[in-house]
A and B are shown apart, each in its own frame.
Chain A
C-alpha cells in the first residue's frame, strides 16, 4: 500500500476542506470494506485519506411525514434495525442479501453506493474500462453488462441498494466543493457510465461528499428486491431487480422497476413499467414484464444467460412487491 496522510474530520465543512487540500489525490474512507482492499492492491493510491466516520451529522436515520433521511455514514446493520425503514422492504431485502455480519456492521450507505465495480479486469489492474472495453468484449465477460454496454464501460454497477433506492425515488444530498455548496439530486442521475478512464461511476467531484439519502414515504407502495445469487455469503448477485408498485384496486397504477448488476449504472426499465402498469399482478403478467425488461438487452459474448436471469429477477421482484410467491428459490 502506498503511504498516505490520514485525517478524520469531525464535521462536514472540515471534511470538505481536507478533501480540497489534496485535489484529486484524496479518497473518502467510510466503512473501508472496499477502499482498503483496493489500496492494498495499489489500484487506488491516494495521497490523503479522509475518514468521515467521526462526523456525527452523517449518521442516523430520521423520518417525518415526507419520508426518511439517512446519513451516508450510517452502517447497513443500523439500517436493517431502523423501524423507519419498515415501509421499504426492498431496501432491507437488499441489505440482507449482503449476507455477512461484518460487511453489514462496517459497510455504510454512502460507501455501498460509491463502491467500485467488481469487474475483474479493473480489479486486476487493467483500468476501469479495461483497454477501452476491448479486454472485456474479447475476454471472460460472464458477469458483465447486458445493457448500456455499447461504449467502453462494460462493467456492472456493484451497488445492491441502488436499484431499490432508485425505484423508491431516492434523492442524494451532496456537499461541496465549497463549505456552503450543496446539491440534491435524484439518485438515478448520480450514477453515470464513464466514457474514459478519468471518469468515475458517479458525478461526484473529487472534493464533494455524499452526506444523506432521502427517501419519500412509501405511502402504501409495495416494494421488493430480488437478487439471483449463486450461493450464500456476501458475493454479488448475478442479476437483481427492485420493484415499487402502487395499486388501484387490484391493478397496478404506478410502477418503478430498476435492474441491478446488468449495466454500468442501475438500469431503470420503462419497458417493464409499461408492461405491468394497468395489470393485475400474477405469475404471467410479472413474466411478461420480465420479458419486456430484457427485450432490448445486448449481451456480450459470454453472458447471454444473464438475460434469462434479469427476466426472472424482474418477474420475481414484481411478484414479491405484490406480496406473492416467486415459485423459485
Chain B
C-alpha cells in the first residue's frame, strides 16, 4: 500500500498559504447560480399551504377553490383527514402555478377544517410541562470519587452530594438557559426540479449532494441512478439541509405530472417554522468548589425541547469540557408543538457550554477571584486524550495567547466591581470548547490530461467554507502547480461519492481523498518521467511547475512535457478515504479552542455592546488559512447572534411562531460585532496531526464567554440567552436572585 504524507512543517509552498477563493468573483458579482437561481423555460412556481395551528387534527381539506384560480396548473394535498399536525406551518397542500403571485393567491382559496388540540410550547416552564404531561425523563449519569466502580442508589447519591456540598468552600446554586434558535438559512430550503424523459434533475439546496438522490428516487418509484442531485452553490445550511424533504419530492412529482420544470422554495416564515431549529436547554445546578475554585462536586438537572419528540440537549456533555470527580446529571425532555429540530452547527455543544461554563464563572464571582484562574485550575479535569499532547496543555497555551491578545490581566476586575462611566460598565469573560472534526468518507476521481490539464471530481459541496479552494490547494501542492491550474468539480451526485458536509468532516474527507489521489497520480506520472530522464522515480519531486530530481533542477521536465508522456488517454486515479479505518497520516480529530469576550453594558437600558472578542483555535494542519479564518470570524458572529439577539418566540396560547419574518427575528448587523481577533493556533505538533475540521468548534464558546463578560460587568448573572435588554434589566432588578 502506498504511503501518504503532507510536506514537512513550513515546507509547503501552496498548502497553508493565502489564496483567493477560486469561486469568489462568481459569488461577489451575482454570477454564481444557487438552487433558487435555476430558471427554466415554462417553469412553474410551487408554494405550500402551511397549517396555521400548532396542534390540531385535520378534519377535511377542500382545495377546489385553488384549482379554479387562473394560472394554477397543479394542486396536491400532502396530508389527509385524520392526520395530526404537531407544529405551525406543517405543509398541507402544494399549489403550482405560472407565477409566484398566482400560486400564493390560490393557497388562500383552500379550505381546511381542523379539530383543535391542546397546545404546549413553553419549554422553559418545567412545572407547566410536567402538569401538561409533556415532560419525561431523558437519562442521566453519575460519577463518584469515593466509589469509582459502583453506582450509588438515589438516596446514597443525595447523601453524598450533600456531604460534598457541605465540605465545599463555596457553593453556587445557579440557573442557566438558552432558547431555541432557528437556522435562518438566507437561501431557504427548496429545489428546482426538471425531468428529461424518465430522468430527474433536482437542483437542490443541499449540504448532502451524494446522499439525497435516493431520497428522491424511492418515493417517486424510480431508482437513484435516474436522479441527479445538483448544487453548485448553497445559500446556508448550518446542519439543516441534509434531506430531500417532502417538499423536494413534491416539486419533482408535480414536475413529472405537468411536464414542466418546477421551482419550490420555502417562504421565509415557512423556512423558520418547519426547516429546522436548535434545541433549547435550561439547567439548575448546585456546584461546589474548593477555595481555589476547583470544582469538587456538580449536581445538575436540565430540560429543554427539540420539538414534538421531546429531546433537548444531551446530558452526556454536562458539564461541558470539564469533568469533575463527583457529578450527577439528569435530563428531562419536554415535548412541544413546535417545528422539529435539525442539526445546528456543533449539536449540543453551544448550549452545554452556555449552561455550564457560566456556572464555573459564578464560582469565580462568588470567591471574588479571577475567572481566568478558575478555568486554569479546573483544566486537569478535562478529557486528556488528543493526538500528541493533552487537551489541558492545548487549552493552557491557548489561554495564555488569548489573555495577551485581550489584555486580560490589565483589564480584569472582580465581578461587578469595575469602574462605571455614566451608566456604562464593562467586563471580561471566557469559555473553552472542543469538537471532533475527523474527516468523512470521500472518494474523488482525479484526471491528468495529456495536455497538462488537471481536474478532480467528487460529490461534495461547498457550504461556504471554501471547499473548492481547499481541494485545489491540496492538489496544486501535490503537483507543484499554482491553484489556478486545478479544476475542481463538485456539486453533483453523478460524481464519486463524498460525505455530507456536517460535523466539520468535509475538509478532512476531501483533503484525504484528493491528497491520496494526487500522490498516487504523481507516482504514476513520475514513473514515466523517470524513464524519460533515465533517473530513479523515487528521486523525483513536483515543484514550481516541473517534475525534477529533488536536488537537480536540470534533470527535469515541465509539467506539460511530463503529461505529454501519458499518450492519448488521460491518467485517471481514484482517491479514497474511509472513515473509521484507524489512524491516517493525513488527518486527525479532536480540537480545542479558547475564546474571550469584552463587553460594555448600559445599565439603564440593558443594551450590550461587543467591544472585543478573541478566538484562539487549533485545527491541526491548516489547508486554506484565509477561508479557515473566515470560518472563525463567522462562527464568532453567529455566536454573538445567539448570545445577544436571536431566539424563536412562540405564542404561548396559539403556538404561533411570532417572529417568523426577518424583521422580527433579531440578528446582529455589521455595526454590532465590535473588534474580533482570530488566532490560528498551529504549532508543529498540531500541523503534524494532519487536517481536522473547523466549521463547528468556534461557534460553541461565544454564548458562555459573552454571558460571563456581562456577569463580570454587572455583578449579576443574566441567566438565559439571548441576553436581550429585557432580560438584562430584569436581572439587574432582581439583583441576581433567581
Contact B663 A231 (CB under 8 A): no
Which residue of A123, A231, A303, A304 is within 8 Å of B666 (Cβ)?
Answer: A231
Bound-complex Cα distance A228 to B645 (A): 15
Interface-facing stretch out of A50-58, A64-72, A178-186, A305-313: A305-313
Q: Which residues of A contact B196 (CB under 8 A)?
A: none
Interface string of B717-737 (1 = CB under 8 A from A): 000000011100110000000
Output the nearest chain A residue to B421 by Cβ-Cβ distance.
A327
Could you tell me the distance between the alpha carbons of A193 and B651 in the complex, rounded to whole angstroms? 24
Please tell me if the beta carbons of B729 and A308 are within 8 angstroms of each other in the complex: yes
User: Which residues does chain B contribute within 8 Å of A42, judged by CB atoms?
Assistant: 104-105, 108
| Contact in complex: A120, B664 (CB < 8 Å) | yes
Cα–Cα distance between A43 and B606 once the two chains are bound (Å):
34
Give chain B residues whose Cβ lies under 8 Å from the Cβ of A126: 654, 656
Pair A329/B653 contact, Cβ less than 8 Å:
no
**At the interface, yes or no: A3 with Cβ under 8 Å from chain B?**
yes
Binary interface profile of B, 116-152, with partner A (CB < 8 Å = 1, else 0)? 0000000000000000000000000000000000000
Interfacial chain A residues near B726, Cβ < 8 Å: 142, 302-303, 305
Main secondary structure of the interface of B (DSSP, over half): loop
A235 to B667, CA, bound (A): 10
Cross-interface CB contact of B725 among A232, A238, A302, cutoff 8 Å: A238
With A1-B101, A309-B605 already in contact, the answer to whether A120 and B659 are too (CB < 8 A) is yes
* Cβ-based interface call for B670 (8 A): yes
B671 within 8 A of A: yes
State the Cβ distance, B99 to closest chain A Cβ, in Å.
10
Q: Give the number of residues in A that approach B within 8 Å (Cβ atoms).
A: 39
Flag if B604 contacts A308 (CB, 8 Å): yes
Whether A202 is near chain B, meaning CB under 8 Å from some CB there, is no
Whether B16 sits at the interface, judged by CB under 8 Å, is no
Q: Is B567 an interface residue (CB 8 A)?
A: no
- Interface pair B725/A228, CB less than 8 Å apart: yes
B664 CB contact (under 8 Å) in A40, A118, A233, A309: A118
- Whether B602 contacts A305 by the Cβ 8 Å rule is no
Q: Which of A202-220 contact B (CB under 8 A)?
A: none
- Candidate in B421, B651, B670, B724 with the most chain A CB atoms within 10 angstroms: B651
Q: Is B669 an interface residue (CB 8 A)?
A: yes
Which of A84-92, A106-114, A133-141, A246-254 has 4 or more CB atoms under 8 Å from chain B? A133-141
Could you tell me if B653 and A139 are in contact, using CB atoms closer than 8 angstroms?
yes
Which of A1, A231, A238 is in CB contact (< 8 Å) with B669?
A231
Q: In the complex, are the beta carbons of A230 and B653 less than 8 A apart?
A: no
For A121, what are the chain B residues with a Cβ–Cβ distance below 8 Å? 651, 658
Interface residues in A31-47 by Cβ distance below 8 A to B read: 37, 40, 42
Which of the residues B52, B104, B105, B422 comes within 8 Å of A328, measured between beta carbons?
B422
Chain A CB within 8 A of B317 CB: no
Q: Is the CB of A328 within 8 A of B605?
A: yes
- In the complex the two chains form, is A140's CB within 8 Å of B649's CB? yes
A135 CA to B729 CA, complexed, in Å = 25
Please name all residues of chain A whose beta carbon is closer than 8 Å to the beta carbon of B669 when the two chains form the complex: 99, 231-233
Within 8 A of B (CB), among A271-319: 302-305, 308-309, 312
Which chain A residue has the least Cβ–Cβ distance from B673? A232
Are A305 and B104 in contact (CB-based, < 8 A)?
no
Partner of A123, one of B101, B645, B664, B671: B664
Chain B residue at minimum C-beta to C-beta distance from A302 = B726
Interface assignment of B660: CB less than 8 Å from any CB of chain A? yes
Q: Complex: how many Å from CA A99 to CA B668? A: 13
Q: Indicate if B661 sits at the interface (CB-CB under 8 A).
A: yes
User: How far does the alpha carbon of A232 sit from the alpha carbon of B637 in the complex, in Å?
Assistant: 14
Chain B, 685-738, CB within 8 A of any chain A CB: 724-726, 729-730
| With contact pairs A1-B101, A230-B725 given, residues A125 and B52 touching in the complex (Cβ less than 8 Å) | yes
Q: In the complex, what distance in Å separates the CA atom of A328 from the CA atom of B600?
A: 10
Residues in A with CB closer than 8 Å to B252 are none
- What is the CB-to-nearest-CB distance from A89 to chain B, in angstroms, rounded to a whole number? 21
State whether the Cβ of A124 lies closer than 8 Å to any Cβ in chain B: yes
Are A231 and B645 interface neighbours, CB within 8 A? yes
- Pairwise interchain contact A328-B645, C-beta atoms closer than 8 A: no
Q: Would you call A326 and B422 a contact (CB within 8 A)?
A: yes
Chain A nearest Cβ from B123, distance in angstroms: 14
Residues of A within 8 A of B552 (CB): none
Q: A308: shortest Cβ distance to chain B, in Å?
A: 5
| B residues near A302, Cβ cutoff 8 Å | 726
A231 to B607, CA, bound (A): 8
- Residue contact B671 to A124, C-beta cutoff 8 Å: no
A14 interfacial contact with B, CB 8 Å:
no
**Which residues from chain A contact B101 at a C-beta distance below 8 Å?**
1, 3
Within 8 A of B (CB), among A68-122: 99, 118, 120-121
Interface members, chain B 629-654 (any A CB < 8 Å): 644-645, 649-654
> Which residues on the A side are within 8 Å of B649 (C-beta)?
120, 140
Per the 8 Å Cβ criterion, residues 447-464 of B in contact with A are none
B658 engages A124 (CB within 8 Å): yes
Does B602 contact A235, Cβ atoms closer than 8 Å? no
**If the complex has contacts A124-B658, A231-B644, are A329 and B605 also in contact, measured as CB distance less than 8 A?**
yes
Q: Does A229 have its Cβ within 8 Å of any Cβ on chain B?
A: yes
B725 A235 Cβ-Cβ under 8 A: no
Given the known interface contacts A120-B659, A142-B726, A232-B670, the answer about A329 and B104 at a Cβ–Cβ threshold of 8 Å is no
B672, CB-defined interface residue at 8 Å: yes
**Chain A residues near B671 (CB, 8 Å)?**
99, 231-233
How far apart sit A325 and B424, CA to CA, in the bound complex (Å)? Answer: 13
Instruction: Check B609 for interface membership: any CB of A closer than 8 A.
Output: yes
Specify which of A124, A229, A309 is in contact with B656 (CB 8 Å cutoff): A124
B672 touches A231 (CB 8 A): yes
- Measured CB to CB, the nearest residue on chain A to B656 is A124
Say whether, besides A139-B652, A230-B645, A312-B605, A327 and B661 are in contact (CB < 8 Å): no
> How far does the alpha carbon of A325 sit from the alpha carbon of B725 in the complex, in Å?
21
Across-interface contacts of B421 in A (CB, < 8 A):
327
With known contacts A135-B654, A139-B653, A327–B664 Cβ distance under 8 A: no
Tell me, yes or no, whether B198 is within 8 Å of chain A by CB: no
By the criterion CB–CB under 8 Å, are B607 and A228 in contact?
A: yes
- Known contacts A123-B661, A124-B660; is A328 also within 8 Å of B604 by CB? yes
Q: Which residues of A contact B654 (CB under 8 A)?
A: 126, 135, 139
Name the 7 nearest CB pairs between A and B, nearest first: A327-B422, A232-B671, A233-B669, A120-B658, A305-B729, A305-B726, A312-B604
Contacts A124-B656, A135-B651, A329-B609 given; 15 further ones with Cβ under 8 A?
A2-B105, A37-B661, A42-B105, A42-B108, A123-B661, A138-B653, A139-B652, A139-B654, A230-B724, A231-B644, A232-B669, A232-B670, A304-B730, A326-B422, A328-B423
19 A-B pairs with CB atoms under 8 Å apart are A42-B104, A123-B661, A124-B656, A124-B660, A139-B652, A140-B649, A230-B645, A230-B724, A231-B666, A231-B672, A232-B668, A233-B669, A233-B672, A304-B730, A305-B606, A305-B726, A327-B421, A327-B604, A328-B602
